[in-house]
Homo-oligomer: A and B are copies of this chain.
Amino acid sequence: MPGVLTLGEIVSRLGGRVAGDPGTRIRQVGSLERAAAGEITFLSGPKLRAKAAATHASAVILSQESEHLTALPRIVCDSPYLYFARVSQLFNPLSVQAPGVHASAVLGKDVKLAQGVSIGAGCVVGDGITIGDGSCLYPRAVVYPGCTLGQRVIVHSGAVIGADGFGIAQDEAGRWVKIPQIGTVRIGDDVEIGANTTIDRGSLDDTVIEEGVKLDNQIQIGHNCRIGAHTAMAGCVGVAGSADIGRHCTIGAAAMILGHLRIADHVQVSAATVIRRSIHKPGTYTGIFPSDDHASWARNTALVRHLAELADRVRKLEKEKKNA
């Protein structure tokens, strides 16, 4: 990581155009509200013009349409948020943990670690696991035997990869008979897995997380799922077993995808939405019950349970009207 870069040096690396002094020296990124001298911030849109006027940052990343909102030295570019991400990567490491295997980590037999892999304190990596170049497991991540991780995979603390899927069959007496889960989990390159997220091993075939997938914290991926490349899921999402989710999807926080469904590429599922049927067309899908003050909610909710009756009454009125 460089200690200090000028705006001119940043633009020569990442593109864009400097307005104001290209010699302005930057040593870190910061937020609009709290950036200090020597820091560069970004403006996501014209709504924040007041904050932009008040910032103590030394420079601002913004789009052409917002260029006039500040007199500070600035970098003008097409996608300020993306540009900011890249600037931040210039000043900050993507993972803070040094390569190597911590003394307290436990490695099974036949584990293959590529160059630059970092295994944090208290991690448990089971037998026969392969992990690609530059991947990082933060403290206390667990990978069950037989799983495969690609290159530059980041696994946060408490994540569990490859535990048994939930495969049970009911016997004649209503007791559950466990189905051995003999598949594994295969994780592609550049995947990030959040803290306490769980990804189950396949029951027969493998559970597959394709390259570039980003999973936030406390996500549950059931057995035999396939998550398509470059799909991102926010925290607390649940994906039931054997769901097949496309590429470039975004799944909002606490959404739930039921099992055995197929979701097309480029689908956006809104937060807290439950998907009960396959989705075959790109687009945004939403299903949240509207919240309200408790009294209004109670009044309207009672009627939801009698919607069929209400519709019947309207139908009757229409019929009488017609017959009148």
Contact = CB atoms under 8 A, between A and B. Distances in A.
B274 A84 contact: no
A1 to B, nearest CB: 10
Contacts of A317: 314, 317-318, 321
Interface stretch (A67-75, A110-118, A209-217): A209-217
Interface string A204-232: 11000000101011101010000000101
A158 interface: yes
A194 to B, nearest CB: 7
How many copies make up the complex? 3
A220 B235 contact: yes
A256 B237 CA distance: 11
A240 to B, nearest CB: 5
A300 B222 CA distance: 30
Interface residues of A, number: 126
B289 A85 contact: no
A194 B198 CA distance: 10
A37 interface: no
Interface in A151-196: 154, 156-158, 160, 163-164, 166-172, 174-180, 182, 190, 192, 194-196
Interface stretch (A2-10, A19-27, A290-298): A290-298
Interface of A: 28-31, 33-35, 79, 81-82, 84-86, 88-89, 91-94, 96, 102, 104, 106, 120-122, 124, 126, 138-140, 142, 144-145, 154, 156-158, 160, 163-164, 166-172, 174-180, 182, 190, 192, 194-196, 198, 200, 203-205, 212, 214, 216-218, 220, 222, 230, 232, 234-236, 238, 240, 248, 253-254, 256, 258-259, 270-276, 283-294, 296-308, 310-311, 313-314, 317-318, 320-321
